[in-house]
Amino acid sequence: MKACLAYVLVALVLLQTFSREVLVVDYALNQATITARFCVNKAKPAMHCNGKCYFAKQLRQQQEREKQLPNHLKEQLEMLLLGMGSPVPPRPLTYPVVAVRQYQLLALQVPKVGLRGVFRPPQGLI
């Protein structure tokens, strides 16, 4: 059920994002119907309009809707921010005090005598 809802929401977002492309595909698929019903230049077949006038009108309307949408969202955001009132100042972060032990570094005793040779493990275990 959740996967189906997710697919529907993704499809709606993609349709909104690619609305201009949806108009182009719709025009390409229904060009004959658009030419017969909605074409302004039906009486002038020499212009070879084929419904492009209607398609251009649809694109203009879509662009106007896109121009109006950000202003509407901006107004809603401003109303939301004004409705929230003054922001609450953040509380200062307090950290618990932890006692830290300090250790003295011990100087390593390095033998000053050179190595007596290479270490070889006992051979009797093999």
* DSSP one-letter string for 115-126: P-S-----STT-
How high is the pLDDT of residue 82? 56
pLDDT digits (tens, 9 = 90+) for 22-57: 888 888 898 888 888 888 877 777 788 888 888 888
Tell whether the model's pLDDT for residue 79 goes beyond 70.
no
Q: How confident is the model at residue 65 (pLDDT cuts 50, 70, 90)?
A: confident
Percent of the chain with pLDDT over 70: 71
User: Within a 13 Å sphere around the CA of 87, how many CA atoms are in the beta-carbon half?
Assistant: 5
**Mean pLDDT on 102-106:** 72
Per the structure block, which two tokens stand in for 22?
């949806």
pLDDT at 17 over 70: yes
pLDDT at 103: 73
Residue 7's pLDDT band (cuts 50, 70, 90)? very high
Q: What is the pLDDT of residue 94?
A: 75
Sign of CA dihedral 117, 119, 125, 126: negative
Structure confidence at residue 64 (pLDDT): 86
Average pLDDT, the chain: 76
